[in-house]
């Protein structure tokens, strides 16, 4: 169904950060059915198991979009579905969250390892630190961090840990190159988790897809300006023939 759009959230903070964006999208087009789907609650750190669960749960022939980890999973799912996915968009999603020799514009491996270790010993403190990094660069970072943390579900420690391990393993470059449908990837200029240089690196990898940069914005820019982000997504849907 070309009038159905699925949104996948990021790690640890649940569906709440996506709710203002979903409401804004519905307000722009009452024919568009927007659904926010929570990420799998699996203790497995195998990305294939996460993708299998999403593929079996989410409706076919829909637009797929997501924030951060949700966007990376949407990329892999879009490539898996091919023509059964109308199109793809991501918000503050890197091709690889952790830097490696083929993708330098990402979090340093040592930084991520420390984050992973912190999640194993004190998941709540790690989630708080994560919310602060999400809000870094926002006009009111502490207020935004409190908003993010306040809406976070009580996810078990093993599920949080497995989600981080999945995040570290994903590398969506091949999926993005193989998916032939329309793509939009939005980045933030002041993102504390995804370096702004990732936008340029992705453009070099995918010169024919739409890549946008919101300069004065944090990783959680979808909460800073849900109506602006909804407008960009709606224009993308329109340009891609969804009218």
Q: Catalytic residues, which ones?
A: 68, 191, 219
Alpha-carbon gap, residue 195 to 92, rounded angstroms: 10
Contact present, 182 and 108 (Cβ < 8 Å): no
Report how far residue 93's alpha carbon sits from residue 2's, in angstroms, rounded to the nearest whole number.
Answer: 23
Task: Give me the phi and psi of 62, to 5 degrees please.
Answer: -120, 165
Q: Would you give the DSSP letter of residue 35?
A: E
Q: Where are the alpha helices (DSSP H) in the chain?
A: 19-28, 47-57, 69-81, 109-121, 123-135, 141-150, 157-169, 173-178, 197-205, 221-224, 226-239
Sign of CA dihedral 133, 134, 136, 140: negative
């Amino acid at each position: 169904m070309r009038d159905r759009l699925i949104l996948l959230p990021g790690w640890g903070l649940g569906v709440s950060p996506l709710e203002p964006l979903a409401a804004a999208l519905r307000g722009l087009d009452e024919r568009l059915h927007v659904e926010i789907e929570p990420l799998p609650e699996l203790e497995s750190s195998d990305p294939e198991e996460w993708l299998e669960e999403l593929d079996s749960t989410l409706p076919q022939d829909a637009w797929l979009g997501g924030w951060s980890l949700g966007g990376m999973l949407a990329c892999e799912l879009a490539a898996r579905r091919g023509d059964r996915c109308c199109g793809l968009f991501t918000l503050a999603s890197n091709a690889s969250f952790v830097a490696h020799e083929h993708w330098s514009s990402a979090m340093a491996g040592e930084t991520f390892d420390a984050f992973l270790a912190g999640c194993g010993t004190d998941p709540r403190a790690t989630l708080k630190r994560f919310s602060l990094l999400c809000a870094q660069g926002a006009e009111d970072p502490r207020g935004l961090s409190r908003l993010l943390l306040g809406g976070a579900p009580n996810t078990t420690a093993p599920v949080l840990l497995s989600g981080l391990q999945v995040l570290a393993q994903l590398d969506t470059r091949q999926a993005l190159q193989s998916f032939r449908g329309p793509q939009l990837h939005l980045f933030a200029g002041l993102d504390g988790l995804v370096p702004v240089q990732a936008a340029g690196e992705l453009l070099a990898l995918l010169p024919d897809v739409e890549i946008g940069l919101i300069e004065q914005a944090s990783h959680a820019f979808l909460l800073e300006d849900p109506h602006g982000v909804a407008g960009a997504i709606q224009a993308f849907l329109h340009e891609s023939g969804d009218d």
